[in-house]
Chains A and B, each alone.
Chain A
Amino acid sequence: MRRVAIIGTGQTVFKTKRVDVNCSELIFEAARAALDQAGIEKEDLDAVVFASAPEAFEGVHAPDCWCADAAAAIGKPSLRIHTGGATGGSGALAGFTHVASGLFDVVLVAAVQRVGESPDAQKILNTIWDPIYEKDFALNIINACAQMAVRYMNKYGMTEEQMALVSVKNHLNAFNNPYAHLKLELSVEDVLKSRVLCWPIKLFDACPRSDGACAVVLASESKAEKLSANPAWVLGVGASTDTYGIGDRMVDDEFDLADIGAFVRAVREAYKKAGIRNPRREISVAEIYAPFSNLEIASYEGLGFCEKGQGGKLIEEGVTRMDGDLPVNPSGGVQASNPIGATGLVRVAEAALQIMGRAEGRQVDGAKTAIATAAGGAAQFYTAMILGKEKP
């Protein structure tokens, strides 16, 4: 396998509805910005990976058709990647594989979602559930993530206050991110008093639904060194999948819903490839896919930032705040912006910006190693990518 680096990123501003552009114009903004940051033109691209999650959000079937022109895919090999919320992360992994394989030197990964075109995202998300056994029971992503929160609370004693601390941190971090959708100065009390959606998840524990796009340019070693003074090297990647039925993850500890088994496997694989043994010490910054505050706490453990059951304590100690020794989601994370199919790629782009030293107001000083994760499906698909300043 060849060495691969990220040499450019592009993001749109995320908001509830971007009425000034259509879907393909939205992805053009991100693609153009990524090419500009990489200092290349579309002729320099060898292939394009297009990524978007359920097309019922856009209400246009197969948006890869609509977006091909705007994703710079004309005249090149291209394909669409879709793993629900993990779509952007899987797209980045596909782009990495394209280059690592030796078949392509420079690849653009472009991801988009327009969640604001239809009135209620959860009505659409209900349709990802099994129409034979499960869909009738009012399941949606908030409901499913609340089920995960209750399972986790019962196992490890996580409190609603700890969840609120995560929300306060992320919404505050978003003020430093010019692309963020929600920027909210909240107290723990504000979060606890906000409207209950699916207990224990309250309004301010939840992500918004956002329109937006993101793009990333990946390049082979020789191209990266020629084109970029400060590329973000891919040190390791991992991915894993869990069962469709959430009820199938309650059989034994190894696969328990509370511990997000597939996430743990994806992260461990990425650490192994990157040679990371002590993530708490070796990772400088993390951009993780946690659309609800409870999932960030459970993710701390999956990421090896603390022992099992200690995630709540980690946020209480402030370790993952911007002024802590291991900032998580300096961008505000998914709680600040969630253009679903693009969100996983935003994590990768933000991690790359940290490594390139281009994260401006949200820069973590001296960031050397960053991890970006994504999660999607019926809380089912997980990806992890580790980026570093030093060539592996």
Chain B
Amino acid sequence: MNETVEIIEIPGKWDISFRYSAGLTASKFFAELKKGERFLATKCSKCGRVYLPPRSFCERCFIKIDEWVPLGLQGTVETFTLVQDKFEGFPDPPYVVAYVTLDGADTAMPNFIEGLDLSDSKVALKKLKIGMKVKAVFKEQREGRVTDFVFKPL
């Protein structure tokens, strides 16, 4: 039997909304971000590790954390990538995503690095280096979210 079958695809779409509970620790961090002045990190009472963004427990010591320490705006690039291709649902390229450790923290946070000329990637990659100093710059309109700031070269 040599039958030609037209193969059918059934269209589908997931449309589910969520409300993610940030919890007490992240909520306190976000409330401080909204003020646009500084960062609040948490510190493990046993090993002294300073977590930013703040965590309510220390993964290494496996104990609860309740000590808060304020941190300033300057930090160091730990690693980065220069995104040059368009992915569905992501910003239009080019853009830089980096992990930055703020002075006084022991962990790095991801965010965009803005304020670099990315029109020529080769030129941009000469400036963009691990160890580069950056500062957090708060947005004018803040909503108490981790997106209330970006990093810019110092």
Min CB distance B78 to A, Å, is 5
Cα distance A259–B129 in the bound complex, in angstroms: 19
Please encode chain B, from 74 to 100, with 1 for each CB lying within 8 Å of some chain A CB and 0 for all others. Answer: 000011111111011111000101010
Contact between B97 and A138 (Cβ–Cβ < 8 Å)?
yes
Contact between A196 and B146 (Cβ–Cβ < 8 Å)?
no
Contacts of B153 in A (CB 8 A): none
| Any A CB within 8 A of the CB of B65 | no
Contacts of B145 in A (CB 8 A): 136
| Any B CB within 8 A of the CB of A75 | no
Contacts of B104 in A (CB 8 A): none
Taking a contact as CB atoms closer than 8 A, the residue among A148, A195, A251 that contacts B107 in the complex is A251
Taking a contact as CB atoms closer than 8 A, the residue among B22, B106, B110 that contacts A246 in the complex is B110
Contact between A126 and B111 (Cβ–Cβ < 8 Å)?
no
Cα distance A247–B107 in the bound complex, in angstroms: 5
Min CB distance A86 to B, Å, is 20
| Any A CB within 8 A of the CB of B125 | yes
Given contacts A122-B88, A123-B88, contact A250 B81 (CB under 8 A): no
Contact between A247 and B99 (Cβ–Cβ < 8 Å)?
yes
Contact stretch, chosen from A127-135, A167-175, A296-304, A359-367: A127-135
Chain A 238-262 residues near chain B, CB threshold 8 A: 243, 245-248, 250-251, 257
Min CB distance A114 to B, Å, is 12
Contact between B87 and A151 (Cβ–Cβ < 8 Å)?
no
Contact between A143 and B59 (Cβ–Cβ < 8 Å)?
no
Contact between B78 and A143 (Cβ–Cβ < 8 Å)?
no
Contact between B88 and A198 (Cβ–Cβ < 8 Å)?
no
A-B contacts counted at CB < 8 A amount to 119
| Any A CB within 8 A of the CB of B62 | no
Contacts of A196 in B (CB 8 A): 82, 84-85, 121
Taking a contact as CB atoms closer than 8 A, the residue among B85, B101, B129 that contacts A250 in the complex is B101
Cα distance A197–B83 in the bound complex, in angstroms: 6
| Any A CB within 8 A of the CB of B63 | no
| Any B CB within 8 A of the CB of A199 | yes
Contact between A247 and B108 (Cβ–Cβ < 8 Å)?
yes
Cα distance A146–B83 in the bound complex, in angstroms: 9
| Any A CB within 8 A of the CB of B3 | no
Taking a contact as CB atoms closer than 8 A, the residue among B20, B53, B83 that contacts A143 in the complex is B83
Contact between A131 and B20 (Cβ–Cβ < 8 Å)?
yes
Contact stretch, chosen from B6-14, B34-42, B133-141: B6-14
Given contacts A123-B89, A151-B78, contact A139 B110 (CB under 8 A): yes
Residue of B at shortest CB range from A243? B59
Chain B 16-67 residues near chain A, CB threshold 8 A: 18, 20, 22-23, 26, 49, 53, 59
Min CB distance A378 to B, Å, is 11
Contact between B49 and A251 (Cβ–Cβ < 8 Å)?
yes
Cα distance A19–B82 in the bound complex, in angstroms: 35
Given contacts A151-B79, A154-B79, A246-B110, contact A120 B89 (CB under 8 A): yes
Contact between B125 and A199 (Cβ–Cβ < 8 Å)?
yes
Contact between A137 and B130 (Cβ–Cβ < 8 Å)?
no
Contacts of A251 in B (CB 8 A): 49, 106-107
Taking a contact as CB atoms closer than 8 A, the residue among B9, B79, B101, B147 that contacts A136 in the complex is B147
| Any A CB within 8 A of the CB of B71 | no
Contact between A250 and B90 (Cβ–Cβ < 8 Å)?
no
- Show 16 A/B contacts (Cβ-Cβ < 8 Å), sorted by A: A20-B7, A59-B14, A123-B89, A123-B90, A137-B97, A148-B79, A150-B80, A154-B79, A195-B85, A197-B83, A246-B108, A247-B101, A247-B110, A250-B78, A250-B79, A251-B106
Interface residues of A (CB under 8 A from B): 19-20, 56, 59, 119-120, 122-123, 126, 131-134, 136-140, 142-143, 146-151, 154, 195-199, 201, 243, 245-248, 250-251, 257
Other 12 A-B pairs with CB < 8 A, given A198-B82, A247-B107? A56-B14, A59-B12, A126-B89, A137-B111, A146-B81, A147-B79, A149-B81, A151-B130, A196-B82, A197-B83, A199-B82, A201-B81
Q: Kindly list the 7 A-B residue pairs having the minimum CB-CB distance in the complex, ordered from nearest.
A: A247-B108, A146-B81, A120-B88, A196-B84, A151-B79, A123-B89, A199-B82
